[in-house]
């Protein structure tokens, strides 16, 4: 789905159709390799005022994906490295603003950027000052985004990768709907013929069970835990999961969630709003949190206070997060400013709850000027999140519970009888760590794995994939389902889904030879 706004839609259309030709030429007056070009000023509208007047859409034939008269700076070609996971029309502009996507991410000497930095900064200031849900503020955001993007064009050339194809293959004994491009598919309704243990592969070891310490979903994460929202079978938009309903205030800054009653953690405790308050506090301020930017970062920010830590750096102050348990089943979240991607953000694995007070928080309380712990902790950290004793005491709320876990080998999950939803239909899931893609594929061909797909970093290695072996039997929208001939006398189920990708590859024409740019285009 392309962004709804005409200006942004025109830019993407122009980029998609003109990228190859633009990169091949890159400039009609291309300097000799390694020779900086003269800086060229680009006209800019009056952007100082906080106007809410809706800009006139720019026709696509007037927007050049890669303008010929651009500024070439002393920078190596690089990848900006931002992968926007939740690309809905309403979220695209906000996600582009995230740290990591900006003209100043390209390594360079500072001087060439000086004339351009104030111009782009003014546009991002306008963007940040108009984050509300009204049409007028949205129009200002669209205009500011466009002109900030135009500044990028003046510095470097960008090749947008706006199309991705994800694949999935599964054995005939597996009855499952193909996963969407969000990858977070829960197997609560999956069915199996024969042995009732689903055999899957993990491309890397599961390093931790702690939601705030994990990067990415990790093998099986959405099977043994859940969040307020989720992506049903990996599809957009996000839908309520642990929440039964929610409301959003008129200004878009307060979200109130009604929780499902009777939801049980794997240790038998009932889920309440206090569990979310505790879990979100840990996400923002726990010493082991690697995902604090997900909740108190630059883009999505829940209200909080900051204090000067012992190292002189301002840090989140525990106990100040704008999350309140109104009652046992009502949770209120107050944002610093409106953010259109809030529901998708809250579907992330880092926002999964654990029972209140499971582990101590904050363990680094002296760093924050506190007299002691806010939560004493029922278990030691390693006791709760590791394989100490007979296994981890970890308690999630997903359809499967952690039965056994060996970091470098496998994780085994068993069906949880007290699951709040329907299912699960099978007895267990085993994720085995297999780092090599060709090895995973061979294990699948031999019948030792039941599924390969987006959760395993790709179904079929590129070097072994033969598109002629596909037979597409159903093609609806961006999804296609059929069969794939493995070449060994076996045909398995096959599915593919197209998605919008927002990675960019960045080139500096003065430093990167034309032949390399042509090859990439």
Average pLDDT over residues 27-40: 35
Q: Which of 27-36, 195-204, 360-369 shows the lowest per-residue confidence on average (mean pLDDT)?
A: 27-36
Q: 175 pLDDT exceeds 70?
A: yes
Evaluate whether 28 touches 68 at the Cβ level (below 8 Å). yes
Residue 447 CA: distances (Å) to CA of 26, 64, 174, 190, 492: 49, 51, 12, 18, 10
Confidence of residue 503 (pLDDT cuts 50, 70, 90): low
Confidence of residue 328 (pLDDT cuts 50, 70, 90): very high
Higher-pLDDT residue of 368 and 424 is 424
Q: 199 pLDDT exceeds 70?
A: yes
Positive or negative torsion for Cα 71, 145, 129, 83: negative
Q: 46 pLDDT exceeds 50?
A: no
Q: What is the pTM assigned to this prediction? A: 0.67
Instruction: Say how far residue 294 (Cα) sits from the centre of its chain.
Output: 10
Q: 52 pLDDT exceeds 50?
A: no
Q: 89 pLDDT exceeds 80?
A: no
Higher-pLDDT residue of 216 and 358 is 358
CATH code of the domain made up of 164-204+398-499: 3.40.190.10
Q: 498 pLDDT exceeds 60?
A: yes
Averaged pLDDT of the chain: 73
203's CB contacts (< 8 A; 6+ apart) are 433, 434, 435, 437, 440, 456, 457
Evaluate whether 488 touches 68 at the Cβ level (below 8 Å). no
Higher-pLDDT residue of 73 and 201 is 201
Concatenating the DSSP letter of every residue in 132-153 gives: SSSHHHHHHHHHHHHHHHHHHH
Confidence of residue 182 (pLDDT cuts 50, 70, 90): confident
Higher-pLDDT residue of 404 and 264 is 264
3-class SS letters over 402-440: EEEEECCCEEEEEECCCCCCCCCCCCEEEEEECCCHHHH
- Alpha-carbon distance of 11 to 81, in angstroms, equals 20
Exposure letters 263-284 (e unless 16+ CB within 10 A, then b):
bbbbeeeebbbbbbbbbbbbbb
- The two tokens of residue 46 are 């009056």
DSSP 462: G
Mode of pairing for the β-strands spanning 428-433 and 410-415: antiparallel
Evaluate whether 455 touches 185 at the Cβ level (below 8 Å). yes
Q: What strands lie across the sheet with 243-248, from one edge to the other? A: 243-248, 254-259, 330-334, 323-327
Confidence of residue 129 (pLDDT cuts 50, 70, 90): confident
Instruction: Say how far residue 438 (Cα) sits from the centre of its chain.
Output: 26
Mode of pairing for the β-strands spanning 428-433 and 197-202: parallel
Q: What is the model's pLDDT at position 75?
A: 24
Helix, strand, coil percent content, the chain, rounded in steps of 5: 25, 20, 55
- Alpha-carbon distance of 345 to 185, in angstroms, equals 16
Q: 377 pLDDT exceeds 50?
A: yes
Q: What strands lie across the sheet with 400-406, from one edge to the other? A: 197-202, 428-433, 410-415, 400-406
Q: Which of 50-59, 137-146, 168-177, 500-509 shows the lowest per-residue confidence on average (mean pLDDT)?
A: 50-59
Average pLDDT over residues 252-257: 96
Average pLDDT over residues 55-61: 35
Domain boundaries, the chain: 6-163+502-520, 164-204+398-499, 226-385
Length of the chain: 521
Phi-psi region of 100 (alpha: psi -120 to 50; beta: other; left: phi over 0): left
Residue 374's CB is within 10 A of a number of other CB atoms, namely 17
Question: ∠ CA 324-327-328 to the nearest 5 degrees?
Answer: 105
Evaluate whether 305 touches 317 at the Cβ level (below 8 Å). yes
Higher-pLDDT residue of 386 and 482 is 482
Confidence of residue 497 (pLDDT cuts 50, 70, 90): confident
Confidence of residue 173 (pLDDT cuts 50, 70, 90): very high
Tens digits of per-residue pLDDT, 426-484? 999 999 998 888 899 999 999 999 999 754 445 688 778 888 999 999 988 778 899 99
Residue 133 CB burial class (10 angstroms; 0-12, 13-18, ≥19): middle
Q: 410 pLDDT exceeds 70?
A: yes
Residue 99 CB burial class (10 angstroms; 0-12, 13-18, ≥19): exposed
Average pLDDT over residues 348-357: 94
CATH superfamily entry for domain 226-385: Dipeptide-binding Protein; Domain 1 (3.90.76.10)
Confidence of residue 137 (pLDDT cuts 50, 70, 90): confident
Average pLDDT over residues 352-381: 88
Average pLDDT over residues 321-347: 95
Query: For the chain, what percent of residues have pLDDT higher than 90?
Result: 36
Mode of pairing for the β-strands spanning 243-248 and 323-327: unpaired
Tens digits of per-residue pLDDT, 462-478? 778 888 999 999 988 77
Confidence of residue 30 (pLDDT cuts 50, 70, 90): very low
Q: What is the model's pLDDT at position 310?
A: 53
- Alpha-carbon distance of 360 to 285, in angstroms, equals 12
- Alpha-carbon distance of 179 to 177, in angstroms, equals 6
Tens digits of per-residue pLDDT, 284-309? 999 888 889 899 988 899 999 988 65
Residue 272 CA: distances (Å) to CA of 228, 240, 334, 421: 12, 16, 18, 17
């Amino acid at each position: 789905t392309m962004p709804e706004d005409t200006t942004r839609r025109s830019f993407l259309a122009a980029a998609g159709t003109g990228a190859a030709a633009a990169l091949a030429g890159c400039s009609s007056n291309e300097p000799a390799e390694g020779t900086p070009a003269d800086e060229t000023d680009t006209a800019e509208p009056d952007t100082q005022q906080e106007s809410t007047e809706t800009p006139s859409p720019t026709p696509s034939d007037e927007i050049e994906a890669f303008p010929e008269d651009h500024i070439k700076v002393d920078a190596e070609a690089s990848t900006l490295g931002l992968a926007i996971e939740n690309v809905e029309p309403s979220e695209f502009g906000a996600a582009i603003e995230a740290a990591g996507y900006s003209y100043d991410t390209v390594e360079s000497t500072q001087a060439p950027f000086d004339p351009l930095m104030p111009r782009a900064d003014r546009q991002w200031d306008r963007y940040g000052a108009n984050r509300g849900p009204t049409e007028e503020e949205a129009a200002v955001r669209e205009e500011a985004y466009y002109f900030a993007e135009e500044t990028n064009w003046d510095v470097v050339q960008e090749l947008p990768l706006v199309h991705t194809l994800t694949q999935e293959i599964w054995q005939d004994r597996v009855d499952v709907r193909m996963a969407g491009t969000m990858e977070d598919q829960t197997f609560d309704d999956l069915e199996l013929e024969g042995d009732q243990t689903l055999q899957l592969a993990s491309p890397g070891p599961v390093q931790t069970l702690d939601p705030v310490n994990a990067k990415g979903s990790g093998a099986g994460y959405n099977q043994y835990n859940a969040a307020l929202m989720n992506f049903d079978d990996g599809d957009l938009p996000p839908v309520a999961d642990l929440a039964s309903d929610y409301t959003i205030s008129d200004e878009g800054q307060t979200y109130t969630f009604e929780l499902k009653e009777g939801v049980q953690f794997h240790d038998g405790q009932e889920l309440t709003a206090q569990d979310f308050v505790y879990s979100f506090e840990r996400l923002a301020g726990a010493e082991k949190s690697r995902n604090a930017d997900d909740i108190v970062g630059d883009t999505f920010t829940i209200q909080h206070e900051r204090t000067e830590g012992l190292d002189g750096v301002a840090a989140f102050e525990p106990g100040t997060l704008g999350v309140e348990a109104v009652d046992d089943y009502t949770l209120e979240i107050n944002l610093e400013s409106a953010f259109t991607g809030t529901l998708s953000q809250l579907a992330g694995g880092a926002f999964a709850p654990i029972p209140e007070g499971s582990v101590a928080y904050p363990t680094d309380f002296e760093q924050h000027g506190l007299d002691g712990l806010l939560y004493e902790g029922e278990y030691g950290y390693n006791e709760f999140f590791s394989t100490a004793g007979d296994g981890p005491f970890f308690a999630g709320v997903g359809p499967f519970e952690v039965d056994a876990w060996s970091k470098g080998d496998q994780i085994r999950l068993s069906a949880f009888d007290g699951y709040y939803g329907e299912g699960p239909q099978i007895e267990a899931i085993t994720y085995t760590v297999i780092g090599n893609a060709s090895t995973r594929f061979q294990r699948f061909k031999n019948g030792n794995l039941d599924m390969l797909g987006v959760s395993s970093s790709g179904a079929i290695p590129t070097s072994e994939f033969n598109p002629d072996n596909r037979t597409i039997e159903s093609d609806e929208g961006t999804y296609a389902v059929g069969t794939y001939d493995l070449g060994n006398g076996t045909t398995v189920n096959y599915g593919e889904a197209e998605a919008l990708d927002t990675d960019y590859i960045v080139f500096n024409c003065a430093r990167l030879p034309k032949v390399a740019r042509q090859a990439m285009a």
